[in-house]
């Protein structure tokens, strides 16, 4: 900082240089402050940051759907899910009428009818113990001792059955309950505290028996016409690993790998030969695969939200509204759109991109470059480049009504993995992470195919998992 006494004797040229230097510093600091403010103002609603990063400053939820004109609550004609009487109750308790309010004896009066009321209740939890008592006989002819053969899976003096083991695997991998709490639960309900080792063993058996299932899913996903993919970090054995998912409406695959990019994707052997349309969030390694692409517009909507809320970019608000209107129009169609139907939408889309470039022109490169490489683009410019250069992928849902507007399917599938990590913090071993990934693939697929989850995991424990077509 200079004082007046220091500046007064200086000549005009020196003062001009000082003012220009000061001005440059002010502009640099102003730009830096703006960048930091934008960074601070980012959250899960206007960027790709996960909701878990919002902390206590969680933004007010704001749905991207248009507000319906319908009243809240159940709509007219909705059947609902009210408790209904069972046609065949398990128990019937007769209630007799023996007297009238006038003191008359009704014991022998014929019954005119019944009023039925049913109570739905859980039976007293109890483990059933089945004893297999094998005969031992001595052959009177040769003296050989002969013993009865036990069922294939009955090989210990005392053991848990497949349904109980299936329940343990279900609680651990579907309901995400830690092994120590499962042990406590079994003690509270059945007075039989299973060990944590038994819980892990149930997962291990399921994992081993699900190898044919995983092979079938990988093959089916590779042949699918539309495939949603995503990846997320998963702390494993003290190091950052990546959980990859590939999903359709009926199939789910999870895989764990130490890498995030193509090395991991090639390892799972789904994408290398995939020829359908790949739906993703523009993670660059996905673009290296020679197939059709579809970009997640939910991500674009969040980025557009940031631009018009934090930077007052009018074109971004208009593009936000256009994409939602376009999706609403497409969702109401039962047949593929004609070229005539698509033309006005595409024109509006391109006009808004042109409007965006007017508001965010690329600056001319300086005569003397300070750094190597291309000049850094703003967030608005990066988004405009993506929307323009990848138009066919952004508007894939317009060109094919079977293509989803967003990558919500894969994100929903991977969300439960994040819930698991939120509860336990991490996976202790890479093998434990692989157990969980394969079993969750199976359970998610079972759910999508309207199969009973507990029955499905019991079948897997028994060595007979269902194999999707």
pLDDT in tens, 436-453: 999 999 999 999 999 999
Q: Write out the residue range of the structural domain in which residue 317 sits.
A: 297-360+379-405
Residue 42 pLDDT > 70: no
The whole-number pLDDT of residue 49 equals 54
CA angle 178, 179, 183 (to 5 degrees): 120
Q: Would you place residue 165 in the very low, low, confident or very high pLDDT band (cuts 50, 70, 90)? A: very high
Residue 341 lies in a domain: yes
Q: Is the backbone of residue 457 left (phi > 0), alpha (psi -120 to 50) or beta?
A: alpha
The whole-number pLDDT of residue 51 equals 58
Residue 393 lies in a domain: yes
Residue 63 lies in a domain: no
Q: Would you place residue 25 in the very low, low, confident or very high pLDDT band (cuts 50, 70, 90)? A: confident
User: What value does the mean pLDDT of the chain take?
Assistant: 88
Residue 105 pLDDT > 60: yes
The whole-number pLDDT of residue 452 equals 95
Structure tokens given for 465: 């998992």
The whole-number pLDDT of residue 66 equals 61
The whole-number pLDDT of residue 189 equals 92
The whole-number pLDDT of residue 339 equals 95
pLDDT in tens, 220-276: 999 999 999 999 998 888 899 999 999 999 999 999 999 999 999 999 999 999 999
User: By percentage, how much of the chain surpasses pLDDT 90?
Assistant: 69
Sheet holding 292-295, edge to edge: 252-257, 239-247, 226-236, 277-280, 292-295
For residues 278-293, give the mean pLDDT: 95
Report the 3 state secondary structure along the chain.
Answer: CCCHHHHCCCCHHHHHHHHHHHHHHHHHHHHHHHHHHHHHCCCCCCCCCCHHHHHHHCCCCCCCCCCCCCCCCCCCCCCCCCCCCCCCCCCCCCCCCCECCCCCECCCCCCCCCCCCCCCCCCCCCCCCCCCCCCEEECCCCCCEEECCCCCCCCCCCCCCHHHHHHHHHHHHCCCCCHHHHHHHHHHHHCCCCCHHHHHHHHHHHHHHCHHHHHHHHHHHHCCCEEEEEEEEEEECCEEEEEEEEECCCCEEEEEECCCCHHHHHHCCCCCCCCCEEEECCCHHHHCCCCEEEECHHHHHHHHHHHHHHCCCHHHHHHHHHHHHHHHHHHCCCCCCCHHHHHHHHHHHHHHHHHHHHHCCCCCCCCCCCCCCCCCCCHHHHHHHHHHHCHHHHCHHHHCCCCCCCCHHHHHHHHHHHHHHHHHCCECCHHHHHHHHHHHHHHHHHHHCCCCHHHHHHHHHCCCCCCCC
Pairing of strands 226-236, 136-138: unpaired
Residue 64 pLDDT > 80: no
pLDDT in tens, 353-379: 999 999 999 875 554 555 566 678 889
The whole-number pLDDT of residue 44 equals 54
The whole-number pLDDT of residue 343 equals 96
> Is the full-model pTM beyond 0.95?
no
Residues 305 and 405: their CA atoms lie apart, in Å, by: 17
Residue 75 pLDDT > 70: yes
Residue 207 pLDDT > 60: yes
Residue 408 pLDDT > 90: yes
The whole-number pLDDT of residue 58 equals 59
The whole-number pLDDT of residue 13 equals 78
Give how many domains the chain has, as a whole number: 1
For residues 285-290, give the mean pLDDT: 95
Sign of CA dihedral 166, 172, 175, 180: positive
Check if the beta carbon of residue 302 is closer than 8 Å to that of residue 408: no
For residues 68-79, give the mean pLDDT: 70
The whole-number pLDDT of residue 34 equals 67
The whole-number pLDDT of residue 364 equals 55
The whole-number pLDDT of residue 14 equals 75
For residues 391-400, give the mean pLDDT: 96
The whole-number pLDDT of residue 423 equals 83
Check if the beta carbon of residue 56 is closer than 8 Å to that of residue 289: no
The whole-number pLDDT of residue 365 equals 55
pLDDT in tens, 110-137: 999 999 999 999 888 889 999 999 999 9
Return the bridge partners of 138, or none.
145
Instruction: Name the nearest CA neighbour of 296 among 422, 195, 390, 170.
Output: 390
Residue 53 pLDDT > 70: no
Residue 183 pLDDT > 90: yes
For residues 40-45, give the mean pLDDT: 58
- Neighbouring CB atoms inside 10 A of 129's CB total 7
The whole-number pLDDT of residue 426 equals 81
Structure tokens given for 224: 């699918």
Residue 330 lies in a domain: yes
Q: Would you place residue 50 in the very low, low, confident or very high pLDDT band (cuts 50, 70, 90)? A: low
For residues 388-401, give the mean pLDDT: 96
Least confident span in 37-41, 314-318, 420-424: 37-41
Residue 308 lies in a domain: yes
The whole-number pLDDT of residue 18 equals 73
Instruction: Name the nearest CA neighbour of 257 among 285, 228, 280, 298.
Output: 285
Residue 56 pLDDT > 60: no
């Amino acid at each position: 900082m200079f004082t007046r006494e220091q500046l007064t004797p200086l000549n005009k040229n020196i003062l001009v240089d000082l003012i220009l230097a000061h001005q440059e510093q002010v502009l640099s600091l102003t730009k830096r402050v703006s960048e930091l403010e934008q960074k601070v103002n980012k959250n899960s609603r206007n960027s790709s940051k996960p909701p878990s990063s919002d902390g206590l400053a969680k933004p007010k939820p704001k749905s991207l759907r248009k507000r319906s004109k319908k009243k809240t609550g159940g709509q007219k004609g909705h059947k609902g899910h009210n408790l209904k009487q069972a046609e065949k109750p398990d128990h019937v308790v007769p209630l007799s009428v023996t007297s009238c309010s006038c003191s008359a004896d009704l014991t022998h009066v014929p019954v005119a009818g019944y009023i039925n009321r049913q109570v739905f209740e859980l039976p007293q939890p109890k483990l059933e113990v089945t004893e297999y008592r094998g005969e031992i006989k001595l052959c009177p002819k040769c003296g050989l001792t002969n013993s009865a053969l036990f069922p294939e899976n009955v090989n210990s003096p005392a053991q848990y059955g497949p349904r109980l083991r299936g329940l343990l695997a279900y609680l651990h991998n579907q309901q995400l309950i830690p092994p120590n709490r499962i042990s406590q639960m079994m003690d509270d309900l059945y007075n039989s505290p299973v060990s944590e080792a038994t819980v892990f063993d149930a997962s291990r058996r399921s994992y081993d028996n699900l190898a044919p299932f995983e092979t079938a899913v990988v093959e089916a996903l590779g042949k699918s016409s539309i495939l949603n993919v995503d990846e997320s970090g998963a702390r494993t054995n003290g190091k950052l690993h990546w959980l990859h998912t590939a999903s359709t409406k009926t199939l789910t695959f999870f895989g764990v790998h130490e890498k995030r990019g193509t090395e991991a994707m090639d390892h799972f052997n789904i994408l290398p030969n995939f020829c359908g349309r790949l739906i993703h969030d523009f993670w660059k390694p996905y673009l290296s695969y020679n197939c059709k692409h579809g970009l997640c517009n939910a991500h674009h909507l969040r980025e557009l939200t940031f631009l018009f809320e934090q930077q007052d970019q009018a074109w971004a608000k208009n593009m936000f509204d256009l994409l939602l209107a376009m999706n609403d129009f497409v969702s109401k169609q039962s047949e593929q759109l004609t070229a005539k139907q698509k033309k006005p939408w595409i024109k509006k889309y391109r006009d808004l991109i042109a409007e965006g470039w007017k508001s965010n022109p690329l600056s001319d490169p300086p005569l003397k470059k300070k750094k190597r490489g291309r000049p850094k683009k703003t967030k608005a410019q990066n988004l405009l480049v993506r929307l323009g250069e990848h138009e066919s992928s952004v508007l894939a849902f317009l060109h094919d009504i079977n293509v989803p507007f967003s990558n919500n399917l894969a994100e929903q599938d991977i969300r439960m993995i994040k819930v698991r990590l939120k509860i336990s913090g991490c996976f202790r071993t890479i093998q434990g992470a692989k157990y969980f990934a394969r079993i969750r693939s199976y359970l998610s697929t079972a759910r999508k195919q309207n199969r009973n989850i507990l029955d499905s995991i019991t079948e897997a424990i028994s060595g007979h998992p269902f194999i999707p077509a």
